[in-house]
Amino acid sequence: MTDFAFNIDVPVRSEWSNVDLLITSVENCFAAMFADIDGCHTIAMVTGELLENAIKYGDWTRGHRVFRLHVSGRDKEATVSVENPISPDNKAIEDLFATLRWLDGFASPDEAYRARLLEVANAPRGGGMSKLGLVRIAYEANCRLRAEKEHDAVRVTAQLIL
């Protein structure tokens, strides 16, 4: 199919049970459209990781109960984007941007993943978060990650070539 495009854009309640529901839904949706099952698994994996980060690091204390999932693409390219509310003093957002800058310093996601694995392996036990999740997404999906912060929300986007 040429010039085949797709678009999923949904608000999501910030409940852990919705992560598995959306992973399965996204994977099944793409499996119905494409013959590339590995690509469907990759899109679903990226979707799940970004959803988990949104729930884990989102600000759900000020009446926010919903975040947004957007998956779109054309032909052999896909974009997965998750936007969630944040509190202004959330240190995890600073860590997010630092991790993305760190990733950009490598020639490939493979090099970054190997470097992060070595850091984790050499870190003392109980040394805190590994910060491996986003690096793993970049490596396993061979994708580019970016983030944007607007007022009280952050949007993390993965661009994939399938």
> Going from the N-terminus, what domains does the chain have, and what CATH number goes with each?
5-161 (3.30.565.10)
Q: Which of 16, 46, 53, 8 is nearest to 140 (CA)?
A: 46
Q: Say which range, 42-46, 113-117, 125-129, has the weakest mean pLDDT.
A: 125-129
> In what helix (H) or strand (E) does residue 150 lie, and over which residues does it extend?
strand 144-150
Which pLDDT does position 1 carry in this prediction? Answer: 45
Task: Count CA atoms closer than 13 A to 17's CA, side-chain side.
Answer: 0
pTM of the shown model: 0.91
Query: 82 φ, ψ to 5°?
Result: -130, 130
Q: Say which range, 48-52, 117-121, 142-146, has the weakest mean pLDDT.
A: 117-121
Rounded-to-integer distance, Cα 79 and Cα 35, Å:
18
Asked if residue 26 lies in contact with residue 43, where contact means CB atoms within 8 angstroms, the answer is yes
Burial 94-106 (b: 16+ CB within 10 A, else e): eebeebbeebeeb
Q: Say which range, 19-23, 46-50, 102-106, 148-152, has the weakest mean pLDDT.
A: 148-152
Residues 40-98 pLDDT 10s: 899 999 999 999 999 999 999 888 789 999 999 887 889 999 999 999 888 889 999 99
